């Protein structure tokens, strides 16, 4: 097996595990567990031709009106590299619950299976009912891609199947009750596929020519065979050997030249409207967080040029439209001839109006639906379900660089006192209450080791001072791609740029979920051998800081009201001394950033804060004449 177990040094790719330097490691992971489903087959379903599924309008379990069984196969918009249409069905080495198959081994084992419902190849009914025969030219076509991405090693997506791994297609012979081999492909890299075919997906077109299949009990199925990497470190063994299937189409009156469709489609999923984040707290949002333009990939699967229109609009939670962009009409060349997508900028790079969220209530959560739509200007698009993609833009109480799907796992190869950290930039002070982390399940739970969560202040763009360190914690998951929440033992007032780090207690590798469809490498760091090093591995660790207070004190507004008092020292570790207060006629209060009173005393010039947790506070001096003076103060022990 060719498991992706690349060990990355700080600047160059390490080709030897003996290189002693700060290292990032990425290892394979699984997918979201599929929802529960009845184990009984859909033998009562008799599908008539045509049979078609391009996996573009849903995710999760394959559609049960088309697929009878789907052992471990999941539909997603994350694993495919430039698929024919947005969304693929992925076969890999894990089951429906996202766990490595019980028979997984370093030798070849049977993994996922995707079986169609029963299809009637005995008759057709439209436009007129008649018998179907071998002479009706029945063909099955689909696109296939080996996993593992392409290009630079640190940018690859998923895990490449080795030459010993394979995917195959089988036809069901109802009379003999047997499955017959119809087609297969051995493992290879996308680079090799592209070098040979100049495409990222290989198109397969197979005739159904044996009379034994022309009955009312025909089925077909995809299966894959995989192997785990032969390594002594079980923490590096996980999901592997992915294959992506797209645009499965079975029909009659086809021919060997049938390789195009009258179909305009999106290729990749809808993007976030934010520059850096997939989601962020409503309180932290500013216009400057908006991206200037979007990257939209549109394809023409026909053999001729077609005119297309594109637009997107944004709806609030009441389905009220708050923004609309119309890119108008423009011709798009056929992909089969040019191997190019739509290049017209109003369609491929539509601008974003950064005023669209001016009505956002930053004191409350909000979610917006961004809908993208294309339409053929001339003729009828044969498949409308792939003409729309959507994105849910969330402004709640957390930051997320990731899109919620882990294609790999990442961590620092553990040494003494090593940390793996991700930074987040706050536009105003906030109260950090919890950290959500997705830890990948690895072979025999090898990476489920004790760890600590640390929160750092920033100086010079790197972590500087630990302002919080948790008690010993243990990795847990509620299922693959499902986060586990780690509550802080105390609320933490933070501002500016902060870092959240994970520190291994035992010096072992901790596998944090790693989303490779977004890129937070500029905000990812490792601390090894007393030095902070930035990551160059493309992707986003699945670590999300959560904030408990949606409304905090407006420091700017408060400090406009202040009188001529001073507080020294500030920051303080033991005492705050107050100067300039009216003698004998004032009250001193110390409150946290959500208004909770921590300390109160009359006519004192010194406040003992030795037992007050570190953080940002408000110190108020209320005079007898009604005037109040307030200062922001910081406690650091």
pLDDT averaged per 10 residues in sequence order, the chain, 637 residues: 29 25 48 43 75 95 90 91 96 81 84 96 88 96 92 77 94 97 95 90 97 97 88 57 96 95 95 98 96 98 93 96 96 93 96 95 92 85 93 96 88 72 94 90 64 90 91 78 87 92 78 91 89 89 84 44 74 88 79 76 88 83 79 84
CB 132 within 8 A of CB 140: no
User: Which residues have C-beta within 8 Å of that of residue 110, sequence separation ≥ 6?
Assistant: 101, 103, 223, 225
Distances (CA, A) of 160 to 26, 112, 189: 14, 16, 6
| Distance separating alpha carbons of residues 59 and 56, to the nearest angstrom | 8
So what's the pLDDT on residue 329? 94
**E strand or H helix at 619, and its extent?**
strand 615-623
3-state helix, strand, coil in the chain (%, to 5): 10, 40, 50
Distance (Å, rounded) from C-alpha 157 to C-alpha 149?
4
The pLDDT assigned to 87 comes to 97
Strand pairing report for 531-534 and 540-541:
unpaired
What pLDDT, on the 0 to 100 scale, is given for residue 442? 60
Report helix, strand or coil for 310. Answer: strand
Q: Measured between alpha carbons, how far apart are the two ends of the chain, in Å?
A: 52
Give whole-number Cα distances, 138 to 150, 206, 252, 253, 454, in Å: 34, 9, 4, 6, 61
Residue 499, pLDDT score: 97
Cα 342 to chain centroid, rounded = 25
Q: Residue 434: what pLDDT?
A: 93
| Alpha-carbon distances, residue 236 vs 204, 209, 526 (angstroms) | 34, 45, 19
Strand partners, 518: none
Q: Between vectors from CA 203 to CA 198 and to CA 205, what angle results, nearest 5°?
A: 145
In eight-state DSSP terms, residue 461 is T
Q: What angle (nearest 5°) sits at the alpha carbon of residue 447, between those of residues 405 and 29? A: 25
Q: Choose among 526, 515, 494: nearest CA to 428.
A: 494
Q: Which residue has the tokens 């009828």?
A: 380
Please, what are the domains in the chain? 31-258 (2.60.120.260), 279-396 (2.60.40), 408-546 (2.60.120), 555-635 (2.60.40.1930)
């Amino acid at each position: 097996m060719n498991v992706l177990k690349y060990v990355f040094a700080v600047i160059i790719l390490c080709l030897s595990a003996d290189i002693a330097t700060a290292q990032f490691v990425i290892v394979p992971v699984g997918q979201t567990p599929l929802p529960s489903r009845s184990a009984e087959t859909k033998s009562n379903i008799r599908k008539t031709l045509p049979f078609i599924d391009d996996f573009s309008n849903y995710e999760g379990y394959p559609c049960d009106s088309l697929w009878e069984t789907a052992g471990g196969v999941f539909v997603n918009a994350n694993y495919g590299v430039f698929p024919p249409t947005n969304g693929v069905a992925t076969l890999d080495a894990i089951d429906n619950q996202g766990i490595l198959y019980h028979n997984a081994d370093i030798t070849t084992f049977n993994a996922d299976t995707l079986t169609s419902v029963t299809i009637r190849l005995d008759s057709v009914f439209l436009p007129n009912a008649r018998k179907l025969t071998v002479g009706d030219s029945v063909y099955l076509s689909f696109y296939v891609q080996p996993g593992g991405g392409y290009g630079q090693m640190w940018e690859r997506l998923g895990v490449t199947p080795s030459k010993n791994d394979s995917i195959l297609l089988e036809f069901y012979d109802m009379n003999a009750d047997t499955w017959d081999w119809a087609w297969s492909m051995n493992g290879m890299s996308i680079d090799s596929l592209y070098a040979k075919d100049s495409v990222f997906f290989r198109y397969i077109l197979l005739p159904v020519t044996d009379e034994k299949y022309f009955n009312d009990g025909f089925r077909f199925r995809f299966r894959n065979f995989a192997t785990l990497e032969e390594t002594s470190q079980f923490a590096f063994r996980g999901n592997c050997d992915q294959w992506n299937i797209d645009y499965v189409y079975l029909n009659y009156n086809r021919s060997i030249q049938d390789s195009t469709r009258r179909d305009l489609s999106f290729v990749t999923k809808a993007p976030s409207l934010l520059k850096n984040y997939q989601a962020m707290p409503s309180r932290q949002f500013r216009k400057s967080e908006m991206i200037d333009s979007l990257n939209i990939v549109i394809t023409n699967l026909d053999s001729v040029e077609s005119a297309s229109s594109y637009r997107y609009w944004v709806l609030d939670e009441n389905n009220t439209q708050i923004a609309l962009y119309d890119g108008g009409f423009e011709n798009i060349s056929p992909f089969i001839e040019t191997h190019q997508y739509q290049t017209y900028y109003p369609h491929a790079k539509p601008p974003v109006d950064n005023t669209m969220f001016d009505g956002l209530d930053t004191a409350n959560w909000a979610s917006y639906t961004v809908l993208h739509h294309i339409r053929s200007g001339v003729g009828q698009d044969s498949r409308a379900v792939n003409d729309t993609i959507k994105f849910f833009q969330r402004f709640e109480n957390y930051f997320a660089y990731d899109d919620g799907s882990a294609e790999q796992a990442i961590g620092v190869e553990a040494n003494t006192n090593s940390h793996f950290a991700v930074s987040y930039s706050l536009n105003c002070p906030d109260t950090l209450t919890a950290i959500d982390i997705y830890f990948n399940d690895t072979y025999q739970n090898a990476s489920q080791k004790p760890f600590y969560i640390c929160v750092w202040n920033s100086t010079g763009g790197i972590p500087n001072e630990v302002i919080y360190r948790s008690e010993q914690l243990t990795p847990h998951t509620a299922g693959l791609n499902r986060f586990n929440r780690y509550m802080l033992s105390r609320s933490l007032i933070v501002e500016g740029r902060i870092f959240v780090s994970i520190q291994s207690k035992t010096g072992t590798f901790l596998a944090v979920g790693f989303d490779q469809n977004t890129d937070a490498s500029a905000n990812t760091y490792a601390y090894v051998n007393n030095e902070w090093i930035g990551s160059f591995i493309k992707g986003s660790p699945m670590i999300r800081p959560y904030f408990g207070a949606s409304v905090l004190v407006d420091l700017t507004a408060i400090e406009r009201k202040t009188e001529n008092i001073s507080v020294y020292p500030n920051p303080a570790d033991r005492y705050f001394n107050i100067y300039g207060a009216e003698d004998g006629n004032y009250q001193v209060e110390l409150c946290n950033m959500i208004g909770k009173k921590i300390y109160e005393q009359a006519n004192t010039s010194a406040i003992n804060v030795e037992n007050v947790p570190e953080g940002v506070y408000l110190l108020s001096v209320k005079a007898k004449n009604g005037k109040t003076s307030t200062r922001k103060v910081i406690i650091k022990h």
